[in-house]
Amino acid sequence: MPHSGDTIPLQDVSASDQLVENHNPTSFTPPKLPSDYIYTRCYCEENIYLLCQELMVRQDVRERWEVWAVFISNENKTVALWEQKAARVAGAPVVWDYHCILVLKSKQPDSYDSGGDQGSVEAWVYDYDSSITQLPCPWGEYVSRTFPFQLMPQYQSLFRVISGEDFIERFASDRSHMLSPEIEGEPLKYVSPPPLYEPICGEISRQYGITSNLMQSFVCMDPDAENTFGSVMSLEKVVFKFLRRV
């Protein structure tokens, strides 16, 4: 859920721009969004789970692309993202407690340009809540526009990067994190209406009787925490993970 009323000090130099300004990617066409995709506001992790599930059953996707779920948060659960549809004013950031996107990275080896320099593998981002009109969006453009400023530490993003396979098999959410604080004598209410389908529980989580691990296993950005999945990365490291030359 977005926070309101935050004033965020900015510096003019964009760390993400510096990281991607020399990137000249080889173009690989990513799969389009399914025509019948499901989106529920404020349930980004479930939206991305369903998309990940849809893409990973496709043989053409599995053969050509690495599929990654990326959770964005920090210790304070206050991360500033630009180009978000939830922004109250155009050009303003949204401060999320956490966010979730899907990244595809091509498995194809880089080609060499006429000058003999190795090209860069292209990666693409699926973010249903981004106001960037192109969806999916090239990774370099997404990073430059979503994280355009150097921020004070409390607003800086960390990234938990999880393979699509682990995400599908291990994610579970009972949606309890979206319940409003309990008031005696009143029924429980959701902060935002939940999806109409049943809560998601991956096969491995189901086998172990786990009904919810969203916050402790995926949103948690402590790299040493137990029972978490994937790797926690800084902005710099996650940029190079998906832009690195191979």
Compute mean pLDDT per 10 residues along the chain, 246 residues long, and list them: 56 52 58 94 99 97 97 99 97 98 87 41 91 95 96 98 99 98 84 98 99 99 98 98 73
Q: What is the pLDDT of residue 54?
A: 98
Stated pTM of the model: 0.87
Q: What is the pLDDT of residue 110?
A: 55
Q: Annotated catalytic residue: which of 44, 100, 137, 201?
A: 44
Q: What is the pLDDT of residue 211?
A: 98
Q: Annotated catalytic residue: which of 99, 129, 201, 220?
A: 99
What is the rounded CA–CA span in Å between residue 41 and residue 206? 25
Return the amino acid letter for 37.
Y
Structural domains in the chain, sorted by start:
2-170+221-243 (3.10.620.10)
Q: What is the pLDDT of residue 99?
A: 99
Q: What is the pLDDT of residue 29?
A: 87
Is 99 noted as a catalytic residue in this protein? Answer: yes
Three-state DSSP at 218 gives helix
Return the amino acid letter for 26.
T
For residue 121, which phi and psi values (nearest 5 degrees)?
-65, 135
The tens digit of pLDDT for each residue in 179-213 reads 998 777 788 899 999 999 999 999 999 999 999 99
Is 224 noted as a catalytic residue in this protein? Answer: no
Candidates 242, 209, 246; CA nearest to 20 is 242
Is 44 noted as a catalytic residue in this protein? Answer: yes
Helix ranges (DSSP H) in the chain = 15-20, 44-56, 59-64, 139-146, 164-170, 203-207, 235-243
Q: Annotated catalytic residue: which of 52, 100, 127, 220?
A: 127
What is the rounded CA–CA span in Å between residue 155 and residue 152? 6
Return the DSSP state at 215.
Answer: I
